[in-house]
Amino acid sequence: MADYNSGLPVRSEVDGTDERVHSKIVGSPTGTNPATNQTAVDNDKNLHVETHGNDPAGTDRVLRLSELGAGTPDGVYDIANNTKPGNSGVIASTRNATPADTTQTQRITSVTNSTKRLLDVSIHDEDGNVFSASNPLPVTSVDSEGTEVNNYLTSATVAVNGAINHDYPVTALKTLKLSQVWVSGSGKVKAELQIETGVATGVFNTIFVGFNSTANANILIPIPENVTVAAGVRVRLIRTNKDNQTQDLYSTISGHEI
């Protein structure tokens, strides 16, 4: 009898016999050695398959994952490595006592102003009520940010025409925003406010002078446009007794160090 083409039946029985049929997924780019290009199953019985795609230049790349298995798109532009950065939009939840995935249905809006892209913002109070004429936003004003400075000095029994300096050197690594000085005495007083030209130069520039009177025994010099004084530079307040007898003089230098 002559030979003829015939397919033999495939038998598949229990594991451990030579009749069990096993399938392999192989790939052979060269078409000559599929055994070295076959897939593998790990101890968890998972078949590992890498996800590939083409970058903007058409080069094959492997998708990256985080340690938790999440995709990690890179949103930072790089002229060499990331010319098409990943983008994600901000999605908000509808107001809800227990926000969940199903309440994430709101897209955030914005407005364009020249080169700026500004998210729309709606400010409410802690109970979620809109601020209005009947529900105003409480505001507290402060002179400046930073640490408050109220440097006080008493000089006792200052002689007639005697001048006593009240110096305040600005703290290292800080900048003083000088906002006010106060001088007081029981008699006539002159106050002269000076700023040193640099650290330990000993040269001072006068910026304010004030006198008291019988009607106004205190000298208050407010400084609406705060004077900026650098670290280590001295603020000097010269207090001169202009009365006809000795007196105690009092002064305070105020501001914020930032």
In this model, does residue 136 exceed pLDDT 70?
Answer: yes
How do 218-229 and 204-211 pair as beta strands? unpaired
CA 39 to CA 26: how far, in whole Å? 6
**Window from 40-54, 173-187, 233-247 with minimum mean pLDDT:** 40-54
Domain boundaries, the chain: 53-138, 147-257
86 within 8 A of 80, measured Cβ to Cβ: no
Asked whether the predicted pLDDT for residue 113 surpasses 60, the reply is yes
CATH topology of domain 147-257: Jelly Rolls (2.60.120)
Task: Give me the residue label for tokens 């290292």.
Answer: 172
* Residue 33 token pair: 């050695």
* pLDDT the model gives residue 1: 57
| Rounded average pLDDT over 55-80 | 86
Lowest-pLDDT range of 24-28, 86-90, 152-156? 24-28
Alpha carbon 205 to chain centroid, angstroms? 38
Question: Which residue reads 């001048």 in tokens?
Answer: 163
From residue 147, alpha-carbon distances to 224, 228, 255, 257 in Å are 18, 14, 8, 5
